[in-house]
C-alpha cells in the first residue's frame, strides 16, 4: 500500500465529474487500499478518488472515532443517492481545502446504492455523520466542493488566500 498525494483546490481534477467504474479489477482494489491508507494518514473520515487525482466514481469512508480501532467502514463504487430527507447543518472541512471550514446544509438522512470492492450491490441507509460524509464524498464525485456551498464572501476570501499563497511559493 502507498500514500497518495491529496489534490487541493484549485486542482482541475476536483471540478471534473468522475467517470463510472465499468470493471472492478485488482488495480481498483489496490487503489481502494491506497485510498484508505491515505485517508487515515491525512487524517480524514472520507476520501473520493478525484481527491487523489483519479477521476473515477469511487469513495472510502470511516466515521469511527480515532480512539476506536479504525477500519474501512465503507468503500463504494459508483455510488448514487437514491433518496434524501430532512435538513441538518453542520460545520465541515475537507482534505482538498486546507484551512477551510464552513457550515453546510445537507439532508439529515440518505439512502445510497452502489457496489462494494468485490462488485456486489450495496444499499446504505444513513443519518448523522455517515449521511454527511456520504453526501460530501459523492459531491466530490460530481465535481462539487464545500467551497461552493459557502457564502460568496467566505468563498472569495479563501480563493484570494489560495491565490496569494500560490504566487508566494
In the chain, where the domains are located: 12-168
Model confidence pLDDT, tens digit, residues 50-69: 999 999 999 999 998 666 65
pLDDT value of residue 164: 84
Question: What pTM was estimated for this model as a whole?
Answer: 0.93
Q: State yes or no: pLDDT of 102 exceeds 80.
A: yes
Mean pLDDT of the region 14-22: 97
Which residue, among 87, 89, 82, has the nearest Cα to 110 in the 3D structure?
A: 82
Model confidence pLDDT, tens digit, residues 26-57: 999 999 999 999 999 999 999 999 999 999 99
Q: What's the CA gap between 60 and 28, in Å, rounded?
A: 12
3-state secondary structure of 141: helix
Residue 165: which pLDDT band, with cuts at 50, 70 and 90?
confident
Question: What is the b/e burial string over 59-70, where b = at least 16 CB atoms within 10 angstroms of the residue's CB?
Answer: bbbbbeeeeeeb
Q: Where are the alpha helices (DSSP H) in 25-151?
A: 26-41, 128-141
Instruction: Using the structure block, give the residue that is written with the C-alpha cell 459557502.
Output: 150
Phi then psi dihedrals of residue 80, to 5 deg: -140, 130
Please say if 85 is a catalytic residue: no
Average pLDDT of the chain to the nearest whole number? 93
Q: State yes or no: pLDDT of 169 exceeds 60.
A: no
pLDDT value of residue 146: 97
Superfamily of domain 12-168: Peptide deformylase (3.90.45.10)
Catalytic residue, from 37, 68, 137, 169: name it.
Answer: 137
Strands (E), the chain: 46-48, 58-61, 74-85, 88-94, 97-106, 109-115, 121-127
Amino acid at each position: 500500500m502507498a500514500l497518495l498525494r491529496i489534490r487541493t483546490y484549485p486542482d482541475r481534477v476536483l471540478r471534473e465529474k468522475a467517470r463510472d467504474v465499468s470493471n472492478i479489477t485488482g488495480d481498483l482494489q489496490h487503489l481502494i487500499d491506497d485510498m484508505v491508507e491515505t485517508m487515515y494518514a491525512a487524517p480524514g473520515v472520507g476520501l473520493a478518488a478525484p481527491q487523489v487525482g483519479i477521476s473515477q466514481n469511487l469513495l472510502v469512508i470511516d466515521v469511527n472515532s480515532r480512539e476506536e480501532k479504525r477500519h474501512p467502514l465503507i468503500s463504494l463504487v459508483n455510488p448514487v443517492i437514491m433518496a434524501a430527507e430532512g435538513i441538518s447543518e453542520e460545520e465541515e472541512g475537507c482534505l482538498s481545502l486546507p484551512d477551510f471550514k464552513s457550515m453546510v446544509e445537507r439532508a439529515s438522512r440518505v439512502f445510497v446504492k452502489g457496489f462494494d470492492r468485490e462488485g456486489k450491490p450495496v444499499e446504505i441507509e444513513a443519518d448523522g455523520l455517515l449521511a454527511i460524509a456520504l453526501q460530501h464524498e459523492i459531491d466530490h464525485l460530481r465535481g462539487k466542493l464545500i467551497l461552493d456551498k459557502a457564502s460568496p464572501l467566505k468563498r472569495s476570501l479563501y480563493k484570494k488566500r489560495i491565490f496569494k499563497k500560490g504566487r508566494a511559493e
